Structure 1
Amino acid sequence: MSSGRAVAGIDIGGDQKGNHLVILRGTQIVCKLSQEAPEYMLEQCLQFEVAAVGIDAPCRWRIGEAGRQAEKALARQRIFSFATPTRELAMASKSGFYGWMFNGERVYDAFSPHFPVFKNGGEIGGRLCFETFPHAITCAFFGKEFASAKNKGTQRREILQREKIEITSLRSIDDVDAALCALTANYLLEGRVDVYGDEPGGYIVVPRFVRSK
């Protein structure tokens, strides 16, 4: 990882599980937090001079009846994610399922004044945050035919080890997923990513990993 800048990843959870933050500098984990308020995570990212923050949650709600282009584009690649509803539909839901998406919204609201949400095109200058998600990251490294939800703990740790990141302090899959989001931030700064979506629906960023033959 040659960007030389600190990067961060945030795994978004519901109210009970909470959010998890990992900050990387090179291959070293310099900060790891769990179940902290978005504002405190923001403070840590500013303190460590983080350049880019990958967030495992939708950066936009669906608009109208049509789904988000980013999710549709990934589905055409047979990489599937939870379908993001409109905010109104999520608010009306009685199941509580969308609580994690509202937690993600709170993270974006806290971060975006300091880390503007990624817009595709042009050079990356100042700080930014962006949407990504660990299953798509795993597909990038292993191939979608071999990425397995059943083996996600093993596969996702293997990705981090392959990238020379010390994983001893990552005690849960949520920590691991946050680290994968931070790893993707490094790939973005280095220009080695695939980007799915459009401006109205937001973009999903995934590492462009070329597997050896």
Structure 2
Amino acid sequence: MSSGQAVAGIDIGGDRKGNHLVILRGTEIVCNLSQKAPEHMLEICLQFGVAAVGIDAPCLWRAGDAGRQAEKELARRRIFSFATPTRELAKASKSGFYGWMFNGERIYQAFAPHFPLFNNERKIGERVCFETFPHAITSAFLGSEIASAKRKRTQRREILEDAGIETTSLRSIDEVDATLCALTANYLLKGEIVAYGDKLGGFIVVPAATGRKWI
């Protein structure tokens, strides 16, 4: 884990479920809240002196017909995610499915003036926000053949416990996932990450998980 710097993770949900924010300082959960406006979450992160924020939502929409490079690279490693559409296609959808992606967009927009989006060229000491997602994080630690959506409640808590984070206060999988995103922010501060993607479609960041199986 990093030194005393605070880091944050945000699990993005639809309008009904809402977003969940967890802030870590070392291995201690110092803040855990949900159902707050993006501007309020930003204010809380600034109050705690957060250095990096991991967000479980696409950081950019797909450009044109080609899929995002980050999603393609992870798929080649058998790590699959929801395919991000163009903003126009998401806006035209009548299903309501993409509501969580628009909520993620609002989070990135609120944070951007203080936490610029990760572009794989971050300088030491600069605040940053970045895209990650819990299944890829789990796969980084356990391997894509072992990481299982059916066992996510157990596997993801075990990863946090192995990192020294007490999980008894985490009441839902959403809070667990937000904490995983914060844990990844700690890895980013240490420079122990793998970034998939490009500047056009944005990067997805996962822990390098040195010494662990990553397929």
TM range (shorter): over 0.9
Matched positions, count:
213
Q: Which residue of structure 2 aligns with residue 108 of structure 1?
A: 108
The structural deviation recorded for 1:168 is 1.3
Show the 5 A alignment for 1:134-153.
134-153=134-153
The residue aligned with 1:44 is 44
Pair 1:12–1:188, CA change in 2 (3 A): same
Q: Is it true that 1:210 corresponds to 2:204 in the alignment?
A: no
TM-score (norm 2): 0.97
Give a deviation string over 1:46-78, Cα, whole Å, max 9, x none.
000000000000000000000000000101111
Q: Does the CA contact (< 8 Å) of 1:9 and 1:23 recur in 2?
A: yes
Equivalent-residue separation in structure 1 for 2:141 and 2:198 (angstroms): 24
Counterparts of 1:91-106 in structure 2, within 5 Å, are 91-106=91-106
5+ residue gaps, structure 2: none
Deviations along 1:143-195, whole A, 9 cap, x unmatched? 10100000000000000000000111100000000000000000000011100
Deviations 1:16-39 (A, max 9, x none): 000000000000000001111111
Residue 211 (structure 1) shift: 3.9
Q: In structure 2, what is the Cα distance between the partners aligned to 1:15 and 1:104?
A: 11
TM-score, scaled relative to structure 1: 0.98
CA-based RMSD = 1.1
1:16 is aligned to 16
Aligned position for 1:193: 193
**Uncovered stretches (5+) of structure 1, i.e. residues with no partner:** none
Contact between 1:3 and 1:190, CA under 8 Å: does it hold in 2?
no
- What amino acid is aligned across from residue 45 of structure 1 in structure 2? C
**Aligned partners of 2:142 and 2:212 also within 8 Å:** no
Moved over 2 A (4+): 121-125, 210-213
Aligned residue type for 1:152: K
Return the offset for 1:4. 2.5
